[in-house]
Chain A
Amino acid sequence: MNATFTKFALAGLVSALLAGGAVALPQKTECLAGAKPGGGFDVTCRLAANSLLAAKLIEQPMVVTYMEGGVGAIAYNHVVGKRAADPSLIVAASTGSALLLAQGKFGSHDENAVRWIGALGADYGVIVVSADSPYKTLKELSDAYGANPASFPIGGGGAVGSQDWMKAALIAKGAGQDPKKMRYVALEGGGAVLTSLEGGHIKIGAGDASEMVKHHLAGKVRILAVMSPERLTGDLANIPTTREQGYDFDWVIWRGYYTGAKVSDADYAAWTDAFGKLVQTPEFKAELAARGLFPYTLIGPAFDAKVKSDVLRFKTLAKEAGL
């Protein structure tokens, strides 16, 4: 499931020779997903691996490896501690990583312990109800919730403090209720949110657009609002955003990559250059769409600033929510 150590030891050698001005990516590249195969980090890694190869920006297939644990915490510590100088390695990250960094759940390391390369796509939070729910707009739901919060169990795919809980807390706050008093049900992933909505065990679900859209189209759930700053295109084009419906919050889940802090500027630039070229290619756009992700590009310093501002924002949010 993993590259042998030999492979990246050699890659290290090659790039050590190339270092000092060269802006080519290493021959052998690796993307580390801090979770089991099949999850969001896996999707993020495969996006980079497949599209870089398809766009011929790398010659040999990028190896995708897995290191499960702490929603990326183990991988983060591994990179900071053991592979900080490995230029062949990129690691998948998301808004969730920034959230955990803000809550100090990545151990003793903070967001400055790695180099943030760029985000290549995004997903957005969605608010869903079951298909037979009487509520057709966020306003209707929010008013009903505000009137009687105890009869609305809200489900999400994560514990208190997770992204889905944060989304639920924003909904509760939007309805003028205390997030702490929410009847929040911590489920095991978005699939469980869907089945719990269908089975009537929860009344409101917090989830991700890319995952819920297919069930929305299949008529099993209804997406009431997309938590994106602007109206989405494609299958969700007719779903209004939270802001359009008069609520002052959104939830952007960027999907990006970082590398070790001791990677040289030249090697870092090789990655940002490659990403910059990549996002222009039709191959990349096809890969992005195939994964249900939305276009969202932030590369180099812009991405670094975004991660840091997110961490700050989440610190405030967590404090407000009483975490």
Chain B
Amino acid sequence: MTLDYLWTGFSVALSWQNLLIGLVGCFLGTIIGALPAIGPINGIALLLPIAYTLGLPPESTMILLAAIYTGSEYGGRISSILLNVPGDAGAVMTALDGNPLARQGRAGEALMISGLSSFVGGIIGVVGLTLFAPFLASLAIGFGPAEYFVLMVFAFATLGSMVGSQPVKTLIGCVLGLMLATVGLDPTSGAYRFTFDSPELGDGIDFVVLVIGLFSISEAMLMLESHATGTSIVGKVGRTFVRWKDVVFTTGATLRGSIIGFVVGVLPGTGASVASAVSYTLEKRVSDRDGTFGKGDMRGLASPEAANNSCAAGAFVPMLTLGVPGSGTTAVMLGALMLYNIQPGPQLFAERPEIVGGLIASLYIGNVLLLLLNIPFVGIFSRLLLLPNWILVPGILVLSVVGVYSTHASVEAVLLMLGIGCMGWLLRKLGFDMAPIILGFVLGKVMEVNLRNALAISGGELSILFQSHISIILWVLAAFVAVGPWALQRWSRRRAARV
């Protein structure tokens, strides 16, 4: 395939008008991503009618929407790192190592490094989109229920790395997450499970409600204790530039995260939360030799950030080539294309090069703009931590309440968040980690639905899980990830003993 459409695209996207639109979109997107109350879907839905009424040409609209989408993936990390309140679904894992860094007074560095890995992830994602889109689309089609199920088995196998010093608590957390995911309409039989006849619970526990409850409410309560006992949280933000040493240290993590994120992004059945979860747990498996992950390891920060940004680019593959959205956000963008009477699909590359090309070119340009935008942003945002707790904590709580209330416009959601938050506080005091709960929740739903769909296809025959090449490769990978590190360790120990 020639890349002519891309040159057309760059000439479209580099017009001063579209550059300005892209800059505005990147700025708005960063803000939208940083605020837990509104995610990229709402942000785009908010701006789409405005763009349409302004009479923007379709390529400019797509550039605006793509800029917002990319920007929000950058923005999500800001509140994760600074406040331990994930700004959006893809930024949950970022908090695990990002927030400890901020607490050590290294918020500036954390923001810079994660900004850089976001950039690398974003660019790798777009390059992948440019070069391999049609090929990957055909691979994505090969993923049926059985393959998605085995993919989830693989994801759970990487979880072995999460087992810390208290493995029982990690496993219990994971099962609790899986249980929380069963609440709501069963997507196969249409039965309501554990909803107690409440329509609010019909769609299950909203991810936003769970994450904000577990992280921000319990966080505020923990801060109260450390505040009262005199150990103030931060007070300094550290350097706001990147050290070459850190860049070298995180390069591997960033590259691995970018590739995993992109591949997961291409699959329509998974999203940024799965991408960042898998890349984080895998990175921990590969790199965490001294148990520094979760305590402020730069690699634990770089990996999920690179993943969620390249996942965002990957999600465009099914949208542009198959006309099937790869994520909630691309679903809205697909709607935007239809509004202009444009049918996505492979023919789009040939028929409307200015749109596909403009969109892809704007992803390149957007990532560069965002990297530049983020340098002043880091300085401004990290000052947040210098606010006294009596201003900062109420602010976090307002954001949490608004974020949750806006999902269903219901007070019940706020109450549920509060209940989950109190439970989270108890569990954290008891020495449980929050990450396994989140992982169980994110992966469990996809796993159960796809297992049952696979069995519905085969009429109960388990052999369907081992039929395709993709499944077999994934089983092998899962086995390798599960026992590989242990086997390697034994092998190297035996060798050491021999010497």
Please determine if A and B sit in direct contact within the complex, based on CB atoms under 8 angstroms apart: yes
Which residues of A line the B interface, CB within 8 A? 1-2, 36-39, 42-43, 46, 61, 64, 66-70, 73-74, 77-78, 105-107, 150, 153, 158-162, 165, 183-188, 191-192, 194-196, 198-202, 214-215, 217-218, 220, 290-292
A195–B406 Cα distance when bound, in Å, is 32
- The proximity string for B residues 339-360 relative to A, scoring 1 for CB distances below 8 Å and 0 otherwise, is 1010101110000000000000
A89–B453 Cα distance when bound, in Å, is 39
Count B-side interface residues using an 8 Å CB cutoff.
Answer: 56
Q: With A37-B332, A105-B202, A186-B456 given, can you name 18 additional A-B contacts, CB distance below 8 Å?
A: A2-B406, A2-B409, A38-B332, A69-B200, A74-B202, A107-B199, A165-B190, A184-B456, A187-B453, A191-B324, A194-B323, A195-B140, A195-B324, A201-B457, A214-B323, A214-B343, A215-B345, A218-B346
Complex interface: chain A residues within 8 A of B335 (CB): 37-38, 42-43
Expressed in whole angstroms, the minimum distance between the Cβ of B328 and any Cβ of chain A is 6
| With contact pairs A2-B409, A38-B45, A195-B141 given, residues A290 and B341 touching in the complex (Cβ less than 8 Å) | yes
From DSSP, what is the main secondary structure of chain A's interface residues?
Answer: loop
Top 4 closest A-B pairs, CB basis? A201-B144, A37-B45, A191-B324, A159-B190
| With contact pairs A159-B186, A185-B453 given, residues A1 and B268 touching in the complex (Cβ less than 8 Å) | no
Q: By the criterion CB–CB under 8 Å, are A191 and B268 in contact?
A: yes
- Residue of B with least CB distance to A182: B456
Q: By the criterion CB–CB under 8 Å, are A36 and B187 in contact?
A: no
- Residue of B with least CB distance to A42: B335
| With contact pairs A195-B318, A199-B141 given, residues A218 and B345 touching in the complex (Cβ less than 8 Å) | yes
Question: Which of B49, B140, B449 has the most chain A CB atoms inside 10 A of its CB?
Answer: B49
Q: By the criterion CB–CB under 8 Å, are B140 and A74 in contact?
A: no
Q: By the criterion CB–CB under 8 Å, are A37 and B322 in contact?
A: no
B334 within 8 A of A: yes
Complex interface: chain A residues within 8 A of B409 (CB): 2, 67, 78
Which residues of B line the A interface, CB within 8 A? 38, 41-42, 44-46, 48-49, 53, 140-146, 185-190, 197, 199-200, 202-203, 268-269, 318, 322-325, 328, 331-332, 334-335, 338-339, 341, 343, 345-347, 406-410, 449, 453, 456-457, 459
Q: By the criterion CB–CB under 8 Å, are B42 and A37 in contact?
A: yes
| With contact pairs A70-B202, A74-B200, A201-B457 given, residues A191 and B407 touching in the complex (Cβ less than 8 Å) | no
A215–B53 Cα distance when bound, in Å, is 29
Q: By the criterion CB–CB under 8 Å, are B199 and A74 in contact?
A: yes
Can you offer 14 A-B residue contacts whose CB atoms are under 8 A?
A36-B41, A39-B331, A46-B339, A61-B53, A69-B202, A74-B200, A106-B199, A153-B457, A185-B456, A191-B322, A194-B324, A200-B144, A215-B345, A290-B339
A73–B325 Cα distance when bound, in Å, is 25
Expressed in whole angstroms, the minimum distance between the Cβ of B40 and any Cβ of chain A is 11
A23–B46 Cα distance when bound, in Å, is 31
Complex interface: chain A residues within 8 A of B408 (CB): 67-69, 74
Complex interface: chain B residues within 8 A of A105 (CB): 202
Expressed in whole angstroms, the minimum distance between the Cβ of B215 and any Cβ of chain A is 22
Complex interface: chain A residues within 8 A of B341 (CB): 290
A74–B341 Cα distance when bound, in Å, is 31
Question: Which of A194, A199, A217, A290 has the most chain B CB atoms inside 10 A of its CB?
Answer: A199
